[in-house]
Structure 1
Amino acid sequence: MYSVWLAQWMEAAKGRIDPYAENELWDSIKDNKTQIEIPKLNEEGAINTPPTDGTPYLKVVCISDTHEQLHNVTVPDGDVLIHAGDFTNNGDENELIKFNEEMTRFPHKYKLVVAGNHELGFDHDEDQSDRLDSDKGNGTANGFELLTNVTYLQDKHITIDGIKFFGSSYHPLRGFPFYRTRASQLKQCWEAVPNDTDVLITHTPPLGYLDQFGEERWGCKDLLNKVEEVKPRYHIFGHVHERHGCISNGDTYFINAAQCNKGNQIQTRPFVFYIPKRTSS
């Protein structure tokens, strides 16, 4: 369970989960960053309204961090459903099969999924010797192959009605699948993000944007730099349960769609946005 993992990490790190969190860097740059809080407009969690001039659009629903509790989430209908990772607790085969089956109950034509740090076994390049003892031996090698009812995105994109969605799972939290170092590796990872990305889906937040866990900033500076360069219209993520919300920097809506709270209890709080299509349906 998430709570067991958290307690073990706190003990192993002697109070700090991410000893390399870049709090000082954020403090040095935050005064030059725009952050506008975007409230939800209705009970579905919409942050904007659909076009009223007849322009065709996609209704996109965003969730993340359901940790084997997807059945407790009230998911609005729509065209695209995004899950930004941590749909399991440790990536075991039975968890993946359950998640794959549960996704079939949603009516969305497109269901886009990225893995989170708890999807053990999904990352071919993971150094499993870094895992907590309780995680060693857990997970399912190539478990993403069991996700037959969704579109799994790892350094891949899908274009839907002219809108490009790109997904990737890398993050800076050591000891888990898709961990990469802040020193150099993450910057290289984010080079895969296409310059014409409209909707970016990651598990980790960017530095400074809905990324604060206690006193630590779990976000990635190189991801923030890439978002500011590419300027996707939306950036969807999760990972930090405590910072569920939506803010904008004027170019991009940043959405932390985590469904669980700090205690790993489902709050059933999806986000919805409307984005005009670029091609006719």
Structure 2
Amino acid sequence: MKILAISDVPSKLLWDESVRKRLEGIDLILSCGDLPKKYLEYLTNFTTAPILYVHGNHDGSYKESEPGGCICVDDAVYVWKGLRIMGLGGCNRYNRDDTFQYTEAEMRRRVRKLWLAARRAGGIDILLTHAPASGLNDGTDKAHKGFQVFNDLMDQYQPKWFIHGHMHLNYGANLPRVCTRGGTTVINATERYEFEIPDPVQVPKRKLFGWG
């Protein structure tokens, strides 16, 4: 399965007449936020791959109307062809604007609400967020500080991939595009990053109560 992760900066290579060719063979597009609605909608015209997205802190316009033809997976555990994706958009609160900003406590409450959905899915394969995890290639300023609860999610569910945006690669020379934390591959999706994963194995849904 070939996945295209995008975030924050529209790619000049995708926003032109060559886009159809560049999207050939892509099975799934994951957006980590802070992209113009018209950019996501433009991409839907040139691919049959679903575009799943979470909100970034500059996506206030999404509150009026979400990107057409795309699927919001914010605050959800979304299963696509057996691939289990937990979506948690937004960043650390740094001002009073209501633009998908959250304190650590608020993000933890969002995570708790997804516990049952993750359990019924039998876990998660991809953690899809806008912000990074605390201490994992995040920033020192309040706006770019990562969330500790994302580290906790990786420890608890051990997803194969953690895909985030928010940290533009030009923010620092030491920011890696790809790194690892335990058994999780961490990908900074800024602009665009293409990668392949094994076709997921269908996992039976768990019963509402208990695992049996």
TM-score normalised over the length of structure 1: 0.58
- How big is each residue's C-alpha offset from its partner over 1:197-246, in whole Å with a ceiling of 9 and x where there is no partner? 11111100101222236899621112211222111111111001033511
AA of the residue aligned to 1:107: T
Matched, 1:171 2:54: no
Give deviations 1:85-127, integer Å, cap 9, x for gaps: 0003xxxxxxx3x22431224424221111110001xxxxxxx
Change (3 A) 1:203 1:215: closer
Alpha-carbon shift at residue 188 of structure 1 (Å): 1.5
* Aligned: 1:253 with 2:185: yes
- 1:66 is aligned, of 9, 29, 42, to 9
**Structure 2, unaligned runs of 5 or more:** 170-174, 203-212
Map 1:198-209 → 2, pairs under 5 A: 198-209=125-136
Matched residues, percent identical? 22
Say whether 1:82 aligns with 2:82: no
- Distance in 2 separating the partners of 1:174 and 1:109: 35
**In structure 1, C-alpha distance between the alignment counterparts of 2:91 and 2:142, rounded to whole Å:** 18
Task: Establish whether residue 142 from structure 1 lines up as the match of residue 142 from structure 2.
Answer: no
Using the alignment, how far apart are the partners of 1:141 and 1:217 within structure 2?
22
- In the alignment, the residues of structure 2 paired with residue 68 and residue 142 of structure 1 have an alpha-carbon distance, to the nearest angstrom, of 24
Structure 1 residues 226 and 102: alpha-carbon distance in aligned structure 2, compared to 1, 3 A threshold: same
Partner Cα distance (1:246, 1:71) in 2: 24
SS in 2 for 1:185: helix
| 1:157 and 2:71 matched | no
TM-score, structure 2 length as denominator?
0.75
Distance in 2, matches of 1:180 and 1:226, equals: 17
Task: Give the superposition deviation at 1:271.
Answer: 3.0
| Mapping for residues 10-21 of structure 1, pairs under 5 Å | none
Question: 5+ residue gaps in structure 1?
Answer: 1-57, 89-95, 121-138, 260-268
Is the Cα contact below 8 Å between 1:103 and 1:150 reproduced in 2? Answer: no
Cα distance, 1:110–1:172 mapped onto 2, change above 3 Å: same
The separation in 1 between residues aligned to 2:82 and 2:155, in whole angstroms, is: 22
Structure 2: how far apart are the matches of 1:180 and 1:215? Answer: 11
Alpha carbons of 1:229 and 1:210: their partners in 2 closer, same or farther (altered >3 Å)?
Answer: same
- Work out which of the residue numbers 186, 193, 200 in structure 2 matches 1:277: 200
Q: Give 1:65's aligned amino acid.
A: D
Aligned alpha-carbon RMSD (Å): 2.7
Comparing both structures, which one devotes a greater share of its residues to strand?
2
CA distance in structure 2 between the aligned counterparts of 1:207 and 1:168, rounded to whole angstroms: 15
- Rg: which structure is higher? 1
1:141-200 Cα distance to aligned partner (Å, 9 max, x none): 3322xx221111111232122111121213213235121112x22222222252511111
Q: Residue 111 of structure 2 aligns with which residue?
A: 190
Q: Residues 215 and 112 (structure 1 numbering): CA distance in 2 closer, same or farther, change over 3 Å? A: closer
1:92-171, aligned counterparts within 5 Å? 96=37, 98-120=38-60, 139=61, 141-144=63-66, 147-171=67-91
- Mark the CA change 1:162 to 1:149 in structure 2 (over 3 Å): closer, same or farther: same
Alpha-carbon distance change, 171 to 215 in structure 1, aligned in 2, over 3 angstroms: closer
CA distance in 2, matches of 1:166, 1:206: 14
Q: 1:104 to 1:244 in 2, by over 3 A?
A: farther
